[in-house]
Amino acid sequence: MIKFPQNFLWGAAASAYQVEGDNVSSDWWQWEQDAAREHSGLASRHYQLYEQDFDLAKSLNHNAHRLSIEWSRIEPEEGKFSQIELKHYLDVILSLRSRNIEPIVTLHHFTNPIWFAKSGGWQNRRSVARFLSYCEVVTRALAKYVHYWITINEPNVYIYHAYILGIWPPEVKSYLRAKLVEDNFVSAHIKAYRLIDKIYRELGLFNPCISIAQNVMAFVPCTMNLKNRFAAYLRDKWYNLGFLDKIMRHKTMDFVGVNYYSRQLVEVKKWGIANLAMDVCKNNHHPLKKNSLGWDIYPEGLYEMLLSLKKYGLPIIITENGICALDDNLRWEYIYSHLKNIHLAVENGVNVTGYLYWSLTDNFEWDKGFGPKFGLIGIDYNTYKRTVRESARLFGQVCKTGVLEC
């Protein structure tokens, strides 16, 4: 039997665009219309059905829920803020609070308003100021009911897909642009942190708890040669820790938000910066069970990551961890093995204070569409009927007792 610390946050996470539906003013929506891509459409209809989803979360003993605010709803045109949408998100937060579920609010989760994207998105020097005025409006509207804020979700994942691989909007492939966007994200976070903090003081509210959600991967050398070991070291430094180190230097992180899914097998073809940064082994040399997108299931990587994040001396919340699987037994196996590794890290002195499974319901998995099923709760996309999976019930028992039966 494994017992987790008292007052642990237990729950699930989601992002607005992936579940709400009809986010017509978002750059991602526009991108979907441009080509033969799967459209997010009504997504999970969470915008209308959030009460039902939160009732289910409550019935599964969740005491926390991570959600995001869709910027393009709040500010569909530059400088024009929608009171109706602000009220909507206030209602969403209050509906969590009324169920004693702690809201963890993300301000940016991959999507931007169309007007923002059109004027250069995060490459524009003014992006930071634009993001801040949106943050200010949202913070003032919700501060009274929110303690945990995440300014930006996975800047590294967004930059990699949108500005290096160029497979997400705005489809740019340039290291220079990627660096510029990263600098703007760093500055946006630091300034948003200070702004949120200032607003709480002004309003006489208790200190907020602010961070980012950082995607981390276990970088494992495929063969133990010097090139691979060096590349794994570099990737860990750049991809996993680079952004966190920068915002930590400015003392703008109150907890570490960690999103962990998988490992990467590092196999570098030749000495070269792009090779060191990106080459992977495609030969399935060390086969492990995989999720339905082919990502290796590697729970011990989470343990290793947690130990390396200990250096920040801050509480750590697992802000995402999950699996897309058609076999629900595999989902439970995944949750179980990752919880075991989290607990091992706790026993080794890491201060983990929460775990949020990705995701509460099935949702729209970006460029992969509706195929991958990450949800604790399944969705029938014809009727929008929700079905609680067995893995959700087993996880719900852990949420209730704080105990993982071995």
Contacts of 395 (CB under 8 A, 6+ apart): 60, 332, 335, 357, 376
- Please identify, using beta-carbon distances, which residue of 298 and 358 lies nearer to ligand BGC: 358
Identity of the residue, 4 or 364, whose beta carbon is nearer to ligand BGC in the bound complex: 364
Is the Cβ of residue 122 or residue 200 nearer to ligand BGC in the bound state? 122
C-beta of 355: minimal distance to ligand BGC in Å?
15
What is the separation, in whole angstroms, between the first and last Cα of the chain? 5
> Closest separation between CB of residue 257 and ligand BGC, Å?
11
Give the closest residue to 71 by CA, choosing from 121, 126, 120: 121
Please give the single-letter amino acid code of residue 164: I
- Closest separation between CB of residue 403 and ligand BGC, Å? 28
Report the residue number, 154 or 267, with the smaller CB distance to ligand BGC: 154
- Report the distance separating Cα 358 and Cα 375, nearest Å: 7
Residue 364 CB, shortest distance to ligand BGC, in Å, is 8
Q: Which C-beta is closer to ligand BGC: that of 108 or that of 227?
A: 108
Is the distance from CB of 97 to CB of 145 less than 8 angstroms? Answer: yes
Q: How far is the CB of 203 from ligand BGC (least distance, A)?
A: 30
Smallest gap from residue 17 Cβ to ligand BGC (A): 8
CA proximity to 376, closest of 30, 107, 13: 13
208-to-9, 144, 147 alpha-carbon distances in Å: 16, 10, 5
Residue 149 or 200: which CB sits closer to ligand BGC? 149
Q: Which helix (H) or strand (E) holds 220?
A: strand 209-221
CA dist 275 and 261 (Å) reads: 23
**Rounded to the nearest whole angstrom, what is the least distance from the CB of residue 120 to ligand BGC in the complex?**
23
In the complex, least distance from residue 294 CB atom to ligand BGC, rounded to whole angstroms? 12
Comparing CB distances to ligand BGC, the nearer of 27 and 200 is 27
Which residues lie near ligand BGC (CB under 6 A)? 15, 18, 153-154, 157, 215, 259, 320, 358, 365
For 314-328, letters b (16+ CB in 10 Å) and e give: bbbbbbbbbbbbeeb
Rounded-to-integer distance, Cα 57 and Cα 67, Å: 13
Structural contact between residues 297 and 323, judged by C-beta atoms closer than 8 angstroms: yes
> What are 175's two structure tokens?
């290291």
Query: What separation in angstroms does the CA of 66 have from each of 104, 147, 213?
Result: 4, 12, 11
Pairwise CA distance, residues 183 & 169, whole Å: 19
Sole residue written with tokens 């393009």: 72
Q: In 10 A of CB 132, how many CB atoms?
A: 16
Tell me the closest approach of the beta carbon of residue 157 to ligand BGC, in angstroms.
5
Q: Which of 221/257 has CB closer to ligand BGC? A: 257
Q: Which is nearer to ligand BGC, 91 or 327 (CB)?
A: 327
The minimum distance between CB 165 and ligand BGC, in angstroms, equals 14
Helices (H), 221-289: 226-235, 242-249, 273-278
Strands 316-320 and 352-358: parallel
Closer of 167 and 176 to ligand BGC (Cβ): 167
